[in-house]
Amino acid sequence: MTSPEQLAAHHGPLRSRVGGAFPGRRAVFRGHDLHRDLKDLSWLNLYLFGITGRRFNDDELRLLDAIWTYTSYPDTRLWNNRVAALAGSTRSSGALGIAAALAVSEASIYGGQIIIAIADFLTRAKARCDAGETLANLVAAHMHSHRGMPGYGRPVRRMDEDERNGPLLTLAAKAGLADGPHLQLARDIETILVAGRWRMRMNYAALTAALSLDLGLSPRDHYLYMLPVFLAGMPPCYLDALDRPAGATLPLSCEQIHYTGPPRRRLNEQ
Amino acid sequence: MNRPSATSTELQAEGIRTAIWDEEAEPDNPFVAVRSYCRGYDVFGELLGAVSSSDYLYLLLRGELPDPAASTALQILAVALANPGPRDPSVHAAMAAGVGGSTAASMLMAALAVGAGSQGGAREVFDAMASLQSNAPPPRPTDIWPEPAATPGFSDQARQCPLPVRQTLARLTALLPEGRTADLHARREALEAERGAPLALTGVVAAALTDLGFSAEEGEMLYLLLRLPGAAAHALEQKRQGFRHFPFFSQIVEDDPDARTNPDHADNLVANPGEAQP
């Protein structure tokens, strides 16, 4: 935590380097007048500028936009989308359902926790390889200590090709953005994992992390940029549920509860 | 409409496996339960009026009803945690939702999100419990929690262990005389010297929940749950009072392009409280 002296130093007006609103006059966004200097930026470019303080060129933006597009699956069964759909089913609000679904996307076997973990691993592995260590040793050590590699394999089908990777690599190559060192590292890791006893292919999380890192994003920048990555698939699931009768999205009957706990008992049986 | 209907086998395969809850359906309606059982007990037929809400919470998470000391300890924790007060960031977040007229759920979601953090929040309780339950927690790479507390359960925000923390610890130690809580009570000053920071409420909670048999994950969840009542009450109070009675705070925009190009605009740097109210 923070000492009382540090808190006292921050007591009083909020000092901000990211901006503020001056209603009726103007708004400042990271040192620029939003309506004068940044008015022509796309939303994605502004979003990235807010995270990194950098502006990206058209090819880079096309790639970063495609990363979001290629994994927008309006499949209600997916755990995060299911939350948005169930909110629709109970006639909750769109913001509540989708905000919860976005929060749920920060999962440990897919989504946010994997996204930052593989970006972190690639960053550290590159630094250590640059310093002379062997990638195969780093991968083996990680597999030994973590029993898996984030961004490789998928929960259900670990050796299947990820259907998103081919189209994204094609687009990245066309834009001249598929030759970076992190992408090469990610491919080398796949070669090691496929050849070894682990038998896991690179999935979308590793590919997108590598591409982002090659654009100069840090692991945390990448994590923040990826927050809305599943968003586009969610409103359709919410709306689809609104189109069904209330409560009729994935209804469960009593017989679908498979009880495995203690048998019936009474309080005085202790 | 021609819809394929699920077969009984498919429904069996698509069921929820649970050791917590069982239901008996109405004879003529599979979607309504006539009886519900929690860990084997008939909830509406027997538990209503017979167990406290904290006992029921314990039953849900631990699988058995608590003994009298554990029951009282959980009630003490529930009261100690129920309202962190309006200065706490989680309650502040709930109030910010309330004062703007946001939905009730968003007020609690705001409190949960802010109260989840690794500095004073539920993640700190998780980290503190993980360290108590395993002597060598694994090193953490960059992950979604930006800055884990260096000494979870202890906080140098206070100059000495605050009285409410000591009062809570003493009450709990009387009920949990063996284990982590009692050890914390007996060796508090030595542990504080070792950690370089006074004991915080998160540390007391972590020790007590460990003694009550909860895992770090269950402890994190309980800490989130038990702090919601205060957030709800404060959020609704601010909603009723209205935004004019809720601070908007002054701000200094340090990197203001107008101030860079025209020093006369320097007076624009400090927004008056409420000026930026949308």
pLDDT at B274: 46
Distance of alpha carbon A35 from alpha carbon B218, whole angstroms: 48
A46 touches chain B (CB under 8 A): no
Residue contact A99–B109, C-beta within 8 A? yes
Q: How far is CA A255 from the centre of its chain?
A: 36
Distance of alpha carbon A235 from alpha carbon A98, whole angstroms: 7
What does pTM read for this prediction?
0.93
CA-CA distances (angstroms) from residue B38 to A248, B14, B51, B85, B117? 25, 21, 12, 33, 31
B67 touches chain A (CB under 8 A): no
pLDDT score of A37 more than 50:
yes
A268 touches chain B (CB under 8 A): no
How many domains does chain A divide into?
Answer: 2
Same domain, A93 and A116: no
Domain with A214, as residue range(s), is 112-225
Same domain, A101 and A185: no
Size of interface A-B (CB pairs under 8 A): 175
Same domain, A129 and A218: yes
A219 touches chain B (CB under 8 A): yes
Average pLDDT in the A128-132 region?
Answer: 97
Distance of alpha carbon B6 from alpha carbon A250, whole angstroms: 12
Q: B67: nearest CA in chain A? A: A270
A266 touches chain B (CB under 8 A): yes
Residue contact B143–A113, C-beta within 8 A? yes
Same domain, A141 and A199: yes
Question: Domain holding A162: CATH number?
Answer: 1.10.230.10
pLDDT mean across residues, chain B: 91
Average pLDDT in the B119-143 region?
Answer: 83
Same domain, A130 and A219: yes
**A156 in any annotated domain:** yes
Q: A223: nearest CA in chain B? A: B144
**A215 in any annotated domain:** yes
pLDDT at A239: 98
Residue contact B142–A116, C-beta within 8 A? yes
DSSP B152-218: TTB-TTSSS--HHHHHHHHHHHHH--SSHHHHHHHHHHHHHHHHTS-B-HHHHHHHHHHHTT--HHH
Same domain, A185 and A201: yes
Q: What is the DSSP letter of B41?
A: E
Which residue, A204, A213, A216, is CA-closest to A66?
A204
- Rounded to the nearest angstrom, the minimum Cα separation between A223 and chain B is 8
Residues of B in contact with A95 (CB under 8 A): 103, 106
pLDDT at B128: 95
Residues of A in contact with B250 (CB under 8 A): 12-14
Average pLDDT in the B28-45 region?
Answer: 98
Residue contact B42–A264, C-beta within 8 A? yes
Same domain, A242 and A179: no
- Rounded to the nearest angstrom, the minimum Cα separation between A174 and chain B is 32
Same domain, A164 and A236: no
- Is residue B82 within 8 A of residue B95, CB to CB? The reply is no
Residue A248: burial class (beta carbons within 10 Å; 0-12, 13-18, 19+): exposed
**A76 in any annotated domain:** yes
B113 touches chain A (CB under 8 A): yes
CA-CA-CA-CA dihedral for A126, A127, A128, A131, to nearest 10:
120
Residue contact B156–A13, C-beta within 8 A? no
What confidence tens digit (pLDDT) does each residue in A39-81 have? 999 999 999 999 999 999 999 999 999 999 999 999 999 999 9
Distance of alpha carbon A13 from alpha carbon B250, whole angstroms: 5
Structure tokens at B260: 């860079």
Cβ-Cβ contacts under 8 Å for B230 (sequence gap 6 or more): B82, B83, B84, B85, B88, B91
Cβ-Cβ contacts under 8 Å for B215 (sequence gap 6 or more): B129, B133
Which residues is B102 bridged to in the sheet? Answer: none
- Rounded to the nearest angstrom, the minimum Cα separation between B205 and chain A is 17
A124 touches chain B (CB under 8 A): yes
Residue contact B250–A37, C-beta within 8 A? no
A93 touches chain B (CB under 8 A): yes
What confidence tens digit (pLDDT) does each residue in B202-261 have? 999 999 999 999 999 999 999 999 999 999 999 999 999 999 999 999 999 998 998 877
Same domain, A235 and A200: no
Average pLDDT in the A130-154 region?
Answer: 93
pLDDT interval class at B20 (50, 70, 90):
very high
**A200 in any annotated domain:** yes
CA atoms within 13 A of residue B273's CA, in its CB half-sphere: 9
B153 touches chain A (CB under 8 A): no
Distance of alpha carbon A223 from alpha carbon B274, whole angstroms: 33
Task: Give residues 214 to 253 of B whose Cβ lies within 8 Å of A.
Answer: 249-253
Looking at the partner chain, which of B12, B41, B253 has a beta carbon nearest the beta carbon of A267? B41
Same domain, A139 and A86: no
pLDDT interval class at B11 (50, 70, 90):
low
Task: Give residues 19 to 38 of A whose Cβ lies within 8 Å of B.
Answer: 19-23, 25-26, 28, 30-33, 37
Residue contact A7–B157, C-beta within 8 A? yes
Same domain, A120 and A155: yes
Residue contact B275–A23, C-beta within 8 A? yes
Residue contact A113–B31, C-beta within 8 A? no
A257 touches chain B (CB under 8 A): yes
B119 touches chain A (CB under 8 A): yes
Please state, for a pLDDT cut of 90, what percent of chain A lies above it. Answer: 90
Distance of alpha carbon A121 from alpha carbon A246, whole angstroms: 44
Same domain, A234 and A101: yes
Residues of A in contact with B46 (CB under 8 A): 266-267
pLDDT interval class at B149 (50, 70, 90):
confident
